[in-house]
């Protein structure tokens, strides 16, 4: 599991007190931290305590489609540009888990590589040629 301190661009934006960059990287942290609310809360606290960043007052903004989770997430993420409120931010965190459910980590060594597939085809082709040659010689 990742920690918010691993996101160097976030830490850098807080140190530079770049409010726009802090806002952007806080949204990026939702993805970076895979929706881990504990780490996300730590990141928000870090930003508030170490910079001039703070959330704005919440303002209701109409969202066209709440049934499609991906569209809903995208709309609310877009709305953060107009109203960066704590309520909307934590709504995004909740929607992230619904929109992008955890996927099992795939062990890359279990996946066939393109080179292995090509090698298998070359070997099979070679075996077929040799077998064909041997059959030809046996019948001649």
Per-domain residue ranges of the chain: 4-99, 108-139
The alpha carbon torsion through 77, 78, 83, 87 (nearest 10 deg) reads -20
pLDDT digits (tens, 9 = 90+) for 7-45: 999 999 999 999 999 999 999 999 999 989 999 999 999
CA 83, CA 85: separation in Å to the nearest integer? Answer: 6
pLDDT digits (tens, 9 = 90+) for 5-17: 999 999 999 999 9
**Cα atoms in the 13 Å half-sphere on the side-chain side of 79:** 21
């Amino acid at each position: 599991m990742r920690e918010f301190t691993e996101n160097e661009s976030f830490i850098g934006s807080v140190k530079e007190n770049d409010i726009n960059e802090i806002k952007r990287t806080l949204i990026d942290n939702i993805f970076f931290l895979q929706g881990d609310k504990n780490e996300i809360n730590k990141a928000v606290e870090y930003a508030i305590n170490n910079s001039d960043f703070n959330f704005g007052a919440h303002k209701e903004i109409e969202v066209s489609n709440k049934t499609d989770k991906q569209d809903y997430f995208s709309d609310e993420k877009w709305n953060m540009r107009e109203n960066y409120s704590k309520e909307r931010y934590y709504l995004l965190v909740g929607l992230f888990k619904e929109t992008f459910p955890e996927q099992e980590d795939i062990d890359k060594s279990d996946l066939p590589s393109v080179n292995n597939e090509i090698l298998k085809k070359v070997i099979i082709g070679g075996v077929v040629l040799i077998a064909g040659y041997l059959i030809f010689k046996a019948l001649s």
